[in-house]
């Protein structure tokens, strides 16, 4: 039976301390104030920190964030705004409690399930009113200044976890007396007889004389090695199967030009050896390691893999994959495809976090491009402007860096396509210059080729050239989810929605954890619209808006889709949301920005906006 999809994410749980007492004292006033908090404080603050408010329950809420830093910064921001709100409610303040933790969850549509969700809720319950509780695993991943704000730690027993103690750090809004203390390594549990005893294990520290250094320095991309997997079958005859899996994963990763992959022969030297990951990193000059195991029962096989940041020993990602070895080659290829699709966004997330922590003077062009990507993915006008600023700075630092030029052209194309500027011709001119400079020297970089395809299509509607770029990218890296997604947009805009749908489905299957996957929802929506299914298109547009809080331009799509589907009232409401972020916009301006779309599809789209109430000129 196929497992429900899961992912490792960051969750925050919120509830109101003393909610029952507040309701008993003033039911109407409390409910009115809670609605005001949700509207004026909670939702805007979540949007500012790239969160996804996926569930509200009375006085509580669950929010998902792309990183621990985003989640913790939001939590502090939210509590600071609540403190201001309560300045006028000295007698009956509404005090929120927050918990933030890493969570391995089941994914079902827009919801998240599993024991980890319950754990985050239990964690929030031990936070003081007006405070924040985080786990040790969250705190040690924060920047020094942010970690220092959590200046009280204790071991607590959470409800439903009797017999287990958890190290919890709390924030109360009070300033810390000094710098954050060094983060200890290795708290854990030891089973002795019938009793479980919490023990402080010996600290594991890297050797002072030979610290492991990141492979991705100021000018280098990250490097990775796939170590030999453990044979957990007890049968030496399974070794050839394991070797085949490793070879396919290594070959598949080698096609990803976003990081350097160490040759399999070098990794093979560590077969059947127990070594510290920091030692392997020093020996091979890598930052990231993939290790795992294989189990087998009859014809059924389970491969477990995990990604480790070797510099600090952090586990960045882990998952298991089940299959039946009917055709060994198909099985090995399937596992390699799934692992590669999961590793790319995980490594990028880690590299982006690393680039953010560097001082301005230490920031190279590579780091500036990484820092620009989350702003590019945000699909918000102010974020896109920041992406352009960072990419222009990267080109100033390294004028010959083709990836920076290609992605800078992509960012400008977004400014045009989403009506974020009144001077489209100037931006098209800048994009044209960047495409002309990058295209001859981009070489075999699938990421840059995909960026050029995006810019070429959105700026000038050049379908044929965009296909050339995506085809080249996919020839180099057949598992490149971004390239499949961009090919989907090319076909949707060109009027072949069925091919477009297949491309988007492939992209989402290859990289379900990609921070840019919401863009695939937008693409599927447009493909359904082009196919004549306006109601289905609206469902996908809503899903995209739910997945990426704050991407208000997508209300333009939703308005057009709903109007053509006959839901005029909802279309008008969606258009109002779009116009709020782009006052004065007209049908003619949208038509100019979207002239890359095939004429019959564009005409129907513009008719939808007219029906929703957008003025012609």
Write down the pLDDT at residue 209. Answer: 30
Write down the pLDDT at residue 470. Answer: 92
Residue 493, pLDDT > 70, answer: yes
The whole-angstrom separation of Cα 188 and Cα 432 is 56
For residue range 20-35, what is the model confidence (pLDDT) as tens digits?
A: 788 778 877 787 788 7
Comparing CA positions, the residue from 513, 548, 520 lying closest to residue 6 is 513
Write down the pLDDT at residue 1. Answer: 38
Confidence of residue 135 (pLDDT cuts 50, 70, 90): confident
**Lowest-pLDDT choice from 223-227, 283-287, 352-356, 473-477:** 352-356
More confident residue, 557 or 287: 557
More confident residue, 330 or 433: 433
Neighbours of 190 (CB within 10 A): 10
For residue range 274-294, what is the model confidence (pLDDT) as tens digits?
A: 667 778 877 777 888 888 888
More confident residue, 267 or 129: 129
Assign domain 6-200 to a CATH class.
Answer: alpha beta
**Top-ranked range on mean pLDDT: pick from 103-107, 161-165, 408-412, 503-507:** 408-412
The whole-angstrom separation of Cα 508 and Cα 519 is 10
For residue range 62-91, what is the model confidence (pLDDT) as tens digits?
A: 999 988 889 999 999 999 999 888 887 767
The whole-angstrom separation of Cα 617 and Cα 605 is 16
User: Where in the chain are the domains?
Assistant: 6-200, 223-357, 361-612
The whole-angstrom separation of Cα 405 and Cα 442 is 9
Write down the pLDDT at residue 160. Answer: 52
Write down the pLDDT at residue 558. Answer: 95
Comparing CA positions, the residue from 336, 348, 275, 260 lying closest to residue 305 is 336
Write down the pLDDT at residue 542. Answer: 92
- Quick one: residue 544, left, alpha or beta (phi over 0 = left, psi -120 to 50 = alpha)? alpha
Across the range 151-159, mean pLDDT stands at 67
Percent of the chain with pLDDT over 90: 29
Give 233's DSSP letter: S
The whole-angstrom separation of Cα 140 and Cα 473 is 38
Comparing CA positions, the residue from 265, 264, 290 lying closest to residue 343 is 290
* Rg (the chain; Cα; Å): 26
SS (H, E, C) 165-230: CEEEEEECCCCCCCCCCCCCCCEEEEEECCEEEEEECCCCCCCCCCCCCCCCCCCCCCEEEECCCE
Helix (H) or strand (E) holding 144: helix 144-148
**Looking up tokens 């023990």, which residue turns up?**
199
Write down the pLDDT at residue 564. Answer: 97
Burial of residue 393 (CB within 10 Å: 0-12, 13-18, 19+) is middle
Write down the pLDDT at residue 220. Answer: 55
For residue range 303-352, what is the model confidence (pLDDT) as tens digits?
A: 888 888 887 777 888 888 887 777 667 777 778 887 887 777 777 777 77
Percent of the chain with pLDDT over 70: 83
CATH 3.40.50.720 fits 361-612, yes or no: no
- Average confidence score pLDDT of the chain: 80
Check: CB of residue 141 under 8 Å from CB of residue 133: no
Q: What is the full DSSP assignment across 77-102?
A: HHHHHHHHHGGG-SSS---EEEEEEE
Helix (H) or strand (E) holding 21: helix 19-25
Residues β-bridged to residue 135: 168
The whole-angstrom separation of Cα 301 and Cα 325 is 7
The whole-angstrom separation of Cα 328 and Cα 336 is 12
Write down the pLDDT at residue 590. Answer: 93
**Lowest-pLDDT choice from 51-60, 359-368, 402-411, 438-447:** 359-368
The whole-angstrom separation of Cα 253 and Cα 361 is 32
Across the range 12-24, mean pLDDT stands at 85
Residues β-bridged to residue 296: 301
Distance of CA 517 to the CA centre of its chain: 8
Sign of CA dihedral 459, 465, 467, 470: negative
Distances (CA, A) of 165 to 120, 135, 442: 15, 11, 53
Across the range 445-460, mean pLDDT stands at 92
Across the range 126-144, mean pLDDT stands at 84
Per-residue tokens: 474 = 């996919």
Q: What is the full DSSP assignment across 388-425?
A: HHHHHHHHHH-TT-HHHHHHHHHHHHHHHHTT--S-HH
- The two beta strands, 187-192 and 152-156, are unpaired
Check: CB of residue 593 under 8 Å from CB of residue 419: yes
Comparing CA positions, the residue from 565, 614, 561 lying closest to residue 590 is 614
The whole-angstrom separation of Cα 510 and Cα 407 is 22
Across the range 387-393, mean pLDDT stands at 94
Check: CB of residue 232 under 8 Å from CB of residue 316: no
Across the range 582-592, mean pLDDT stands at 91
Residue 42, pLDDT > 60, answer: yes
Which residues contact residue 616 at a Cβ distance below 8 angstroms, ignoring those fewer than 6 apart?
586, 587, 588, 610
Residue 164, pLDDT > 60, answer: no
Comparing CA positions, the residue from 360, 304, 315, 370 lying closest to residue 515 is 370
Residue 410, pLDDT > 90, answer: yes
**Lowest-pLDDT choice from 115-119, 294-298, 483-487:** 115-119
Check: CB of residue 38 under 8 Å from CB of residue 46: no
Level-2 CATH architecture, domain 223-357: 3-Layer(aba) Sandwich (3.40)
The whole-angstrom separation of Cα 342 and Cα 10 is 17
Residues β-bridged to residue 169: 134, 153
Which residues contact residue 467 at a Cβ distance below 8 angstroms, ignoring those fewer than 6 apart?
453, 487, 490
The whole-angstrom separation of Cα 16 and Cα 34 is 9
The whole-angstrom separation of Cα 390 and Cα 395 is 9
Across the range 148-164, mean pLDDT stands at 65
Coil, strand or helix: which one is 287? coil
Confidence of residue 218 (pLDDT cuts 50, 70, 90): very low
Residues β-bridged to residue 8: 104
Across the range 478-492, mean pLDDT stands at 89
Helix (H) or strand (E) holding 11: strand 6-16
Coil, strand or helix: which one is 261? strand
Which residues contact residue 594 at a Cβ distance below 8 angstroms, ignoring those fewer than 6 apart?
417, 602, 605
**Looking up tokens 């949707």, which residue turns up?**
492
């Amino acid at each position: 039976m196929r497992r429900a999809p899961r992912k490792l994410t960051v969750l925050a749980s919120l509830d109101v301390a003393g909610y029952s007492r507040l309701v008993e004292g003033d039911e109407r006033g409390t409910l009115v104030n809670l609605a005001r908090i949700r509207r004026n404080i909670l939702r805007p603050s979540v949007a500012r920190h790239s969160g996804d408010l996926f569930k509200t329950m009375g006085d509580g809420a669950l929010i998902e964030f792309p990183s621990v830093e985003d989640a913790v910064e939001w939590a502090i921001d939210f509590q600071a705004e609540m403190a201001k709100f309560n300045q006028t409610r000295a007698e009956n303040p509404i005090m929120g409690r927050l918990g933030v933790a890493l969570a391995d969850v089941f994914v079902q549509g827009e919801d998240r399930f599993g024991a980890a969700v319950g754990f985050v809720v239990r964690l929030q319950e031990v936070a003081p009113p007006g405070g924040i509780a985080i786990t040790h695993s969250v705190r040690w991943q924060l920047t020094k200044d942010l970690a220092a704000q959590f200046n009280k730690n204790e071991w607590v027993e959470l409800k439903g976890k009797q017999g287990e103690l958890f190290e919890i750090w709390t924030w109360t809004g009070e300033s810390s007396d000094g710098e954050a203390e060094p983060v200890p390594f290795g708290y854990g549990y030891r089973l002795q007889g019938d009793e479980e005893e919490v023990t402080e294990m010996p600290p594991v520290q890297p050797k002072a004389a030979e610290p492991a250094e990141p492979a991705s320095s100021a000018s280098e991309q990250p490097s990775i090695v796939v170590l030999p997997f453990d044979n957990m079958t007890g049968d030496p005859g399974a070794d050839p199967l394991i070797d085949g899996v490793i070879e396919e994963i290594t070959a598949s990763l080698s096609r990803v030009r976003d990081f350097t992959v160490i040759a399999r022969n070098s990794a093979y030297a560590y077969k059947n050896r127990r070594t510290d990951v920091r030692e392997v990193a020093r020996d091979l000059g890598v930052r990231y390691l993939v290790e795992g195991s294989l189990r087998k029962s009859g014809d059924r096989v389970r491969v477990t893999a995990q990604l480790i940041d070797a510099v600090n020993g952090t586990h960045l990602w882990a998952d298991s994959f089940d299959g039946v070895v009917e055709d060994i080659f198909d099985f090995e290829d399937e596992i390699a495809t799934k692992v590669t699709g999961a590793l790319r966004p995980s490594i990028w997330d880690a590299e982006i976090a690393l680039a953010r922590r560097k001082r301005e003077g230490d920031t190279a062009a590579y780091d500036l491009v990484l820092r620009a990507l989350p702003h590019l993915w945000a699909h918000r006008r102010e974020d896109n402007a920041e992406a352009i600023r960072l990419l222009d700075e990267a080109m100033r630092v390294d004028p010959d860096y083709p990836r920076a030029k290609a992605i800078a052209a992509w960012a400008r194309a977004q400014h045009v396509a989403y009506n974020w500027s009144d001077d489209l011709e100037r931006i098209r001119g800048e994009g044209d210059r960047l495409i002309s400079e990058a295209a001859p020297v981009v070489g075999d970089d699938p990421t840059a080729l995909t960026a050029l395809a995006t810019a070429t299509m959105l700026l000038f509607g050049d379908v044929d050239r965009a296909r050339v770029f995506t085809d080249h990218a996919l020839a180099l890296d057949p598992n490149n989810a971004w390239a499949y997604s961009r090919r989907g947009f090319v076909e949707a805009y060109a009027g072949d929605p069925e091919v477009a749908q297949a491309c988007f489905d492939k992209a989402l299957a290859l990289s379900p954890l990609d921070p840019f996957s919401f863009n695939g929802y937008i693409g599927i929506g447009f493909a359904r619209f082009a196919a004549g299914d306006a109601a289905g298109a609206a469902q996908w547009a809503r899903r995209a808006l739910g997945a990426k809080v704050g991407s208000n331009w997508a209300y333009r799509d939703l308005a057009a889709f709903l109007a053509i589907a006959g839901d005029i009232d909802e279309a008008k409401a969606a258009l109002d949301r779009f116009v709020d972020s782009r006052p004065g916009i007209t049908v003619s301006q949208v038509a100019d920005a979207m002239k890359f779309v095939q004429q019959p599809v564009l005409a129907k789209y513009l008719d939808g906006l007219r029906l929703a109430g957008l003025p012609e000129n």
